[in-house]
Amino acid sequence: MSCTFCAIVAGDIVSSHVYGDDRVVAFLDIAAATPGHLLVIPRQHSPSLESLNPEDAARMMVVAQALSTALRESGLPADGVNLMLSDGAAAGQEVPHVHLHVIPRSTSDGFDVTARFGHPQRNTLDTQAAQIRSALAAHF
């Protein structure tokens, strides 16, 4: 099987399983940013958000919400939680199967998410919003 996450779903690769239902599976990330770092994936192979079944997407978020609560109650350091999903190689997606990271956070964990945030002019924002609305119209 060429997809690592599909192999995990099939039971061909061992994982530290935390949750599973008919739509999604959650397990500990072997490349954890912090202790308790989880991945939530759809059972159905979906290489991108564009291909992801909307019901699977919704279920991933519901499960991530419950996992966030469970992390805080687990005794692991979890004063906060980051949810991260990278879609496409340019965004840092390494495994071509949609996956939502649920990363427990504490003030001293050393994990850092950085970006260079800009402050574009309103007319630039309005132009970009119009472009997105135009493209979005085809999907609703």
Tokens 């940013």 — which residue? Answer: 33
The alpha carbon of residue 47 and the mean position of all alpha carbons in its chain are separated, in whole angstroms, by: 13
74-110 residue pLDDT tens:
999 999 999 999 999 999 999 999 999 999 999 999 9
pLDDT for residue 1 is more than 70: no
Of 37, 97, 99, 101, which is the active-site residue? 99
Q: Is 99 a catalytic residue?
A: yes
* Average confidence (pLDDT) over 121-127: 96
Q: In the prediction, which pLDDT does 74 show?
A: 97
Task: Tell me the CB-side half-sphere exposure of residue 68, using CA atoms within 13 A.
Answer: 17
Cα dihedral across residues 130, 136, 46, 85: positive or negative: positive
Nearest to 34, CA basis, from 84, 89, 88, 97: 84
Tokens 């966030």 — which residue? Answer: 68
18-75 residue pLDDT tens:
999 999 999 999 999 999 999 999 999 999 999 999 999 999 999 999 999 999 999 9
pTM for this prediction: 0.93
* Averaged pLDDT score across all residues of the chain: 96
Domains of the chain, start order: 4-111 (3.30.428.10)
8 Å CB contact between 37 and 103 = yes
- As a whole number of Å, the end-to-end CA separation of the chain is 35
The span from the CA of 59 to the CA of 83, in Å, is: 14
